[in-house]
Amino acid sequence: MKKIVVSLGVIIILIAVFAVSFARAAWFSDEEAGEPITVLVEDEMTPSMVRDLLVESGLVSSSVFYDLFSKFDQSALHPKAGEYVFRKGASYQKIADTIALGPARDELTLRFVEGKTIDENAEALRSHGVLPEDYRALVGASKNLAEFDRSLEEDFEFLKDIPRGQSLEGYLFPDTYNIWKDQLPDGLIRKQLRTFASKVIIPYEDERKASGLTWHEVLALASIVEAEVKTPEDRKIVAGIFLNRLNGSMRIQSDATINYVVGKGRMRATAEDLQIDSPYNSYRRDGLPPGPINNPSLSSITAVLNPTDSDYYFFLTDEAGKVYYAETIEGHQRNREEAYGS
């Protein structure tokens, strides 16, 4: 009888030690003196493979304990791939919860202003660790130097209508985007294209068809309007003027297209600028340029789709931003003298 009592006592003590040891390992962290240990959970790893990895790294002392813990906490059964750093002595709960949540991710809020070019956006992303050449590999480059990654057409049908050799200039909708840093730049580009589809393509497709223009032509003209004037009212009038010129076999003659080529923001192109041999030189070439010269606002896009009907063929803007309109070249010259004194 005495032996039975002793044996029961030993069993109880062992169970108690086991329970205390398990509880401490499972729910109580003791990391103050523990060295940092990095573990890499790879894609396709099963929960048991992650458990073995944790045992091998020294973070988990017993696979039996961890399996038992998983009966209490289901997070141990849902690991996410990523690189994690723990201190030895971290509880199973902390380890399992962290791996179930996934690696720490930095969320960015990025604001893309209307009228900015692909090159300007590329430079803005440099501060977030994105190399301009990596960005351009997906969206193409300004001034017809390289086209966008055509694999994007699989997810965005409207991109198939962009002429070969053209970039995504004009299609990267300017807005404020929240994005995980590790999704740059591909995730951002896809968000911009989805936003373009939802805010432009879907709601304005009928108006686009009625205009007789393709989306590429709409964006090319809208980008010029964006660069030339600022208010919604002026944009609708100026869009109408450019359409009057196109329908009247006149050239666009926009300084904004020249600035796109030379990379300067001059109010008026120089005589030298006007002689530049470029498909974007709307003083020397007929019709619209081969593509947009920036990423225009919704205001400029809708101005092209719903322009103000007028008899104006000319306009200019003074240094204060006032816009002058004229029906004839003589009226335009008078406006020039009033605005610039020449």
Structural domain boundaries, residue 184: 111-310
Q: Is 80 exceeded by the pLDDT of residue 299? A: yes
Domain membership of residue 67 (yes or no) is yes
Judged by average pLDDT, the poorest of 1-10, 30-39, 63-72, 205-214 is 1-10
User: Do both 95 and 142 map to the same domain?
Assistant: no
Q: Is 60 exceeded by the pLDDT of residue 165? A: yes
The strand pairing partners of 87, in sequence order, are 36
User: Do both 117 and 95 map to the same domain?
Assistant: no
**Given this model, what pLDDT does residue 9 score?**
53
Q: What is the token pair recorded at 325?
A: 């309109």
CB within 8 A of 275, min separation 6: which ones? Answer: 284
Domain membership of residue 175 (yes or no) is yes
User: Do both 17 and 74 map to the same domain?
Assistant: yes
Confidence of residue 123 (pLDDT cuts 50, 70, 90): very high
Note whether 65 and 92 are within 8 A (CB): yes
User: Do both 80 and 214 map to the same domain?
Assistant: no
What is the rounded CA–CA span in Å between residue 227 and residue 116? Answer: 9
Domain boundary among 80, 101, 122: 101
**Given this model, what pLDDT does residue 268 score?**
72
User: Do both 235 and 193 map to the same domain?
Assistant: yes
Q: Is 60 exceeded by the pLDDT of residue 210? A: yes
User: Do both 126 and 257 map to the same domain?
Assistant: yes
pLDDT in tens, 27-58: 776 765 578 899 999 988 999 999 999 999 99
Q: Is 70 exceeded by the pLDDT of residue 266? A: no
User: Do both 122 and 91 map to the same domain?
Assistant: no
User: Do both 93 and 183 map to the same domain?
Assistant: no
Q: Is 80 exceeded by the pLDDT of residue 183? A: yes
Domain membership of residue 218 (yes or no) is yes
> The pTM is what?
0.75
pLDDT in tens, 4-21: 655 565 566 656 555 556
User: Do both 164 and 259 map to the same domain?
Assistant: yes
Count of alpha carbons within 13 angstroms of residue 148, beta-carbon side: 25
Domain membership of residue 178 (yes or no) is yes
Q: What is the token pair recorded at 217?
A: 């032509």
Question: For residue 42, what is the domain's CATH number?
Answer: 3.30.1490.480
Note whether 222 and 204 are within 8 A (CB): no
Q: Is 80 exceeded by the pLDDT of residue 219? A: yes
User: Do both 134 and 262 map to the same domain?
Assistant: yes
User: Do both 178 and 242 map to the same domain?
Assistant: yes
What is the rounded CA–CA span in Å between residue 189 and residue 160? Answer: 16
Domain membership of residue 323 (yes or no) is no
What is the rounded CA–CA span in Å between residue 19 and residue 21? Answer: 5
Judged by average pLDDT, the poorest of 56-60, 72-76, 305-309 is 72-76
Number of domains in the chain: 2
**Given this model, what pLDDT does residue 145 score?**
77
User: Do both 70 and 115 map to the same domain?
Assistant: no
CB atoms within 10 A of CB 192: 23
Using CA atoms, how far residue 90 sits from 63, 72, 98, 162, in Å, is 15, 17, 11, 54
**Given this model, what pLDDT does residue 19 score?**
55
